[in-house]
Amino acid sequence: MNELMRELNENNVGMVKLNEPLARHTTMKIGGPTDLFIEPSSIEGLEKTMKLISKAQVNWRAIGRGSNLLVSDKGIEGVVIKLGNSLNQMNLDGTVLTVGAGYSLVALAMLISRKGLSGLEFASGIPGSVGGAVYMNAGAHGSDISNILTEAHILFNDGTLEWLSNEEMEFSYRTSVLQKKRPGIVVEARFQLKEGDKEQIVDVMQKNKDYRKVTQPYDSPCAGSIFRNPLPQYAGKLIQDAGLKGHRIGGAQISDMHGNFIVNAGNAKAEDVLQLIQYVKKTIFEKYNVHLETEVEIIGKI
């Protein structure tokens, strides 16, 4: 890792740190250190980073704002690349929006709504970055990223960049081709929006935001929805009906506001959260014969 770090610094890719605690970079405030932490200062820096990582043949993964992650207490072996504010460029050409992966999804949705453009209303209140949202096809209120994305600029393992169409992204419920079939990093995304009534769009945005405020615990450290909805049923409703809201293991607690959220109620460890997840899965299966699958991405050393 020291040799890789030296080469990264020589190439001025951006900020490079050894043994950086990932609790500093996840919304749940949980996670051990990564061997090498890199926050590229530009797309060019990101390209150089990926080529050097490929040359060194070390494991890597990318993160955005860390809002859908549970990182092991033991941390992550290899390299973590954070797509931060240096990748938050934006260009609006009529109703076509091209935006960098590091841009805050909430901030983007608000900005676009004030311009009288429709398409991102569902994203009001969804934490995280544009890149993370595209990677997992984030959605809410009956819509998701796949409904507006036309193409995504992807950086692959070998350092090559390629624009993938909506079809090539192979979107489905909270997944994309990048999660398994073609691992890569979202660098930019292009969205097709629609002109609409500014007051009506802003009103919908505010209602969505208000709904999240009163139903979801985003004022506490959490990772968003823990489980995928076993449609047509909803994970939060099943957990609530099972009487599990408020149940706690160690510092991890099922939110009193929403059954599908686990909050860091005080110095929680990843192991606390994992035990709580298993307890919920076991209880819901025994009560309702329903298998819950996690939506939050669980990563790191076992």
What DSSP state is assigned to residue 247? -
Distance CA 29, CA 21 (A): 10
42 catalytic residue (yes or no): no
Query: Comparing C-alpha atoms, which of 112, 82, 116 is closest to residue 97?
Result: 112
Here the tokens at position 40 are 């590229």
Count how many Cα atoms sit within 13 Å of the Cα of residue 70 in the half-sphere of its side chain: 27
Q: Which of 20, 67, 151, 174 is catalytic?
A: 174
Annotated active-site residue in 86, 124, 225, 255: 225
| Catalytic residue flag (residue 174) | yes
φ and ψ of 62, to 5 deg:
-110, 150
Q: Per the residue annotation, which of 39, 151, 188, 295 is the catalytic one? A: 295
Enclosing H/E stretch for 37 = strand 33-40
How many helices, marked H, and strands, marked E, lie in the chain? 7, 18
**CA gap 11, 56 in Å, rounded:** 15
Q: Which three-class secondary structure state does DSSP give residue 216?
A: coil
**Active site (catalytic) residues:** 174, 225, 295
